[in-house]
Chain A
Amino acid sequence: MTKVTMTVNGKEMSGDVEGRTLLSGFLRDDLGLTGTHIGCDTSQCGACVVHVNGVAVKSCAMFASEADGAEISTIEGQANADGSLNVIQQAFQDHHGLQCGFCTPGMVMSAAALLKENPKPTEQEVRDYLEGNICRCTGYHNIVKSIMAASGQDVGAIAAE
């Protein structure tokens, strides 16, 4: 076992991990941050997306040891300081951007990464960015709508596909 230390949602966290311990497992099992979901565990579905040093990463496809010293943001750190939903989370609620909710943490984290690098994406850019996030309810339409709304754009005209 090796000791790793990382800053998770602004707080320094440590734990002992094996070489094979995945970041997703460390967050969930050692730190109790179960908002990061493991859907496929084959790095296809994106439910486990977190931010590592500011960029979106599939936490089931990164070893905890690789994140030693890194800054990690998870879904648990997304709410505003007063506990209210942040703009992306609120948009998902307002536009019914979740059905069963399993993929939602990854969707919100990918959306946050997209809007950081591209604050006013087109609908196509949103869809392209979500290539690695799978919603098995197939609720993409309202997810895209939520992200467009979170970027401050008018979503009335987004037609169902």
Chain B
Amino acid sequence: MYNFDFEKPSSVADAVAALGAEDAQALGGGQTMIPTLKQRLASPSKLVSLTGIADMKGVSASGGAIKIGGATTHATVAAEAGSYPALAETASHIGDPAVRNRGTIGGSLANNDPSACYPAAALGSGATITTNTRDIAADDYFQGMFTTALDEGEIITAVTFPIPEKANYQKFVQPASRFALVGVFVAKYADGVRVAVTGASNDGVFRWAEAEAALSSNFSASALDGLAASGDMISDLHGTAEYRAHLVGVLTKRAVAAAA
């Protein structure tokens, strides 16, 4: 690992100021960032830890939505997001227990790994990503593998999820990494169903529009019969593009059947 300066501010304003330095980089729980640094795939001049900012931690629910601070760990979401059970359940299966005690929702969404779970939950719920400067709709936020709408030095301070009538996340894990080989998040709202798919596409997390239309008129697994996910699917040693496309259909049906 190349060396860097380390700062741990206690306010968003101080963090934004610290990130103004050339080649400074925000640090969430570090569960992706630290392995990346070890491989010398990144060489920031300064890391600005966001874990000391009390305003960016915690879970609160009101008015049919649940708001999660950007520096909230997966373990805390799993334990405290009970008003959105599918979200708590999703968080409870990210990584392993020790990773969940460090990794944060803001870090996951800022990284936008194409196989991560939270992007599916955020896009599948039509969440709002709040930064130090603005609110970004999930539909505008995810812009492809490891690419987001965030500007340089912009910090995710909170994520707000509208609570659906029913939802479920199904993850088919890649057995070695335990990341999603494919993951599907289904959420049923009064005004329609959202289906978000992670792990499958070279374009990163995406909404499966045909499935959403079918499920919005008939929320049952059989409504998906005959539908096939299309798009630029990932093909690698863990699974071909055809296999991943097939899994998208299977997991979406399972998610609909399990939605509660």
Residue positions of A touching B, CB distance < 8 A: 2, 18-20, 22, 41-43, 46, 49, 52, 55-58, 60-63, 65-66, 68, 110, 113-114, 129, 131-133
Minimum Cβ distance to chain B for residue A10 (Å): 21
> Which of B2, B8, B75, B178 is within 8 Å of A65, CB to CB?
B8
Q: Which of B6, B30, B75, B97 has the most CB of A within 10 A?
A: B97
The residues of B that contact A19 with a CB separation of less than 8 Å are 3-6, 46-47
> Total contacts A to B, CB within 8 angstroms?
74
Question: A61–B34 contact, CB under 8 A?
Answer: yes
A55–B102 alpha-carbon span in the complex (Å): 9
Given known A61-B102, A66-B49, contact A131–B97 (CB-CB < 8 A): yes
Besides the known contacts A46-B96, A57-B98, A129-B97, 8 further A-B residue pairs in the complex with CB atoms under 8 A apart: A19-B5, A19-B46, A42-B38, A46-B98, A58-B99, A61-B35, A62-B30, A63-B6
Interface-centre pick from B6, B47, B51, B75 (highest chain A CB count, 10 A): B6
Q: A44 to chain B: closest CB distance in Å?
A: 8
State how many residues of chain B have any CB contact under 8 Å with chain A.
26
Cα A38 to Cα B151 with chains together (Å): 36
Say whether B148 faces chain A, with CB atoms less than 8 Å apart: no
Q: Which residues of B contact A56 (CB under 8 A)?
A: 97-98, 101
**B residues 23-63 in Cβ contact with A at 8 Å:** 30-31, 34-35, 37-38, 46-47, 49, 51
Q: How far is the CB of B171 from chain A (nearest CB, A)?
A: 13
Residues of chain B having any CB pair with chain A under 8 Å: 1-6, 8, 30-31, 34-35, 37-38, 46-47, 49, 51, 75, 95-99, 101-102, 178
List of B residues within 8 angstroms of A46 by Cβ? 96, 98
Give the interface centre of B3, B35, B95 by most chain A CB atoms within 10 Å.
Answer: B35
Query: Smallest Cβ distance from A59 to chain B, in angstroms?
Result: 9
Using CB atoms, name the residue of chain A closest to B102: A57
Residue of A at shortest CB range from B176?
A: A44
Contacts of B2 in A (CB 8 A): 20
What 7 A-B pairs are tightest by C-beta distance, nearest first? A132-B96, A19-B6, A131-B96, A55-B101, A65-B6, A19-B4, A20-B1
Verify A61–B178 contact, CB threshold 8 A: no
**Residues in A neighbouring B38, C-beta threshold 8 A:** 41-42
Name the contact of B97 in the complex, choosing from A42, A61, A66, A132 (C-beta under 8 A). A132
Determine the residue in chain B with the shortest Cβ distance to A46: B98
Q: A19-B47, A20-B37, A61-B35 are in contact. Are A132 and B8 (CB under 8 A)?
A: no
Q: Distance (Å) between the CB of B15 and the closest chain A CB?
A: 14
**Assuming the A-B contacts A18-B3, A20-B2, A42-B38, are A66 and B8 also in contact, with contact meaning beta carbons closer than 8 angstroms in the complex?**
yes
**Complexed CA–CA distance, A63 and B34 (Å):** 8
Find chain B residues with CB under 8 A from A110 CB: 97-98
The interface residues of chain A lying within 8 Å CB-to-CB of B5 are 19
A62 to chain B, nearest CB (A): 6
Q: Could you pull out 20 A-B pairs where Cβ atoms are within 8 angstroms?
A: A18-B3, A20-B2, A20-B37, A22-B34, A41-B38, A46-B98, A52-B101, A56-B97, A61-B34, A61-B35, A61-B102, A63-B49, A66-B49, A110-B97, A110-B98, A129-B97, A131-B178, A132-B96, A132-B98, A132-B99
Chain B residues with CB under 8 Å of A57's CB are 98, 101-102
